[in-house]
Amino acid sequence: MKVILTSQGDSLDAAMDARFGRAAKFLLWDSSTQAVSVVDNQQSMDAPQGAGIQAAMTAIKQGANAVITSHCGPKAFRVLQEAGVKVYLTKAAKCREALQLFQDGKLQEASSANVEGHWT
């Protein structure tokens, strides 16, 4: 499966970006190869509105089955849910830590957005 983590940097050692829609970077982790690639989220960063919707579409286009982040707004959640992408929320500071929690089955799937739109 493919998992997206919201990150402030280019590797699993980077800090998590707490925001989904306006996350600096997406790290795409592939469970079959254990490979990590960096996905640009600049388009959403620059969007005057609808960053969450844009970011959700980016995640879907990458073929992600799940998203791991700290905060997900209502519109992004709706799009991800509609496309069958699961959302996992974590307070982990580092991406590697978050991924480990996920692999250990310690992250619970979110059933709704956990912040309002325009959360910063």
Partner 1 sequence: MKVAVASGKGGTGKTTVSLALAAAAETPCLLLDCDVEEPNCHLFTSAEPWRTEGVDVLVPEFLGEGCDGCGSCVRSCRFNALAGFGRKVMVFAEMCHACGGCVLACPHGALREIPYPIGRLEFRHAEGFELITGVMNVGYAMAPPLIRQLKTHLPTSGLAVLDCPPGTSCSMVTSVRDCDFVVLVTEPTPFGLHDLRLAVETLAELKLPCGVIVNRAEPGVPLIHDYCQEAGLPILLEIPLSRQIAETCSAGGGLLDACPDLKEPLQALLAQTLPGLLAGRSVAS
Footprint on this chain of partner 1 (rule: CB under 8 A)? 47-51, 53-54, 56-57, 60-61, 75, 78-79, 82-83
User: Which one, of 76, 85, 89, 70, lies nearest residue 16 by Cα?
Assistant: 70
Query: Which residue number, 11 or 43, has a Cβ lying nearer to partner 1?
Result: 43
CB of 76 to partner 1, least distance (A): 9
Query: Which residue number, 48 or 105, has a Cβ lying nearer to partner 1?
Result: 48
Can you say how many angstroms the Cα of residue 110 is from the centroid of all Cα atoms in its chain?
12
CB of 60 to partner 1, least distance (A): 5
CB of 48 to partner 1, least distance (A): 8
Distance (Å) of CA 61 to CA 57, 94, 96, 108: 6, 25, 23, 24
Query: What whole-number distance in Å separates Cα of residue 48 and Cα of residue 67?
Result: 23
Query: Token pair of 5, please?
Result: 């983590």
In this structure, what DSSP letter does residue 6 have? Answer: E
CB of 94 to partner 1, least distance (A): 30
Query: Which residue number, 61 or 91, has a Cβ lying nearer to partner 1?
Result: 61
